[in-house]
Amino acid sequence: MVVLAGVLGSRVLDRTAVERDVAAQFEQREGVALDLSCDERMLVVTGATYTCRGATADGEDVTIRITVTDAAEAAYSWAEP
């Protein structure tokens, strides 16, 4: 998924879109809804990692690591550490 926003000339991932998209993918994979909150500013730099935290609808705490996989395409992946 590629989501960008421009901030003062820097490319950053759109935090709200990342939260929404990762939560939807998590729910599809795990079968439970996730309320997710990510770092305020996620610069698009290949290899950069950012932490998102949230809770499932079942009350389980979840940590998700976002990794920028391709800065040119602003592509990222996510995983539970």
Give pLDDT tens digits along the chain (81 positions).
444 444 445 789 999 999 999 999 999 999 999 999 998 899 999 999 999 999 999 999 999 999 999 999 999 999 998
Distance between CA atoms of residues 15 and 12, nearest Å: 8
Selection from 66, 44, 42, 41 nearest residue 53 by Cα:
66
C-beta atoms surrounding 76 within 10 Å: 24
In the block, residue with structure tokens 């932490």: 51
Q: What pLDDT score does 10 carry?
A: 74
Tell me the pTM. 0.83
Q: Which pLDDT value is given to residue 40?
A: 81
Residue 4 is predicted with a pLDDT of 45
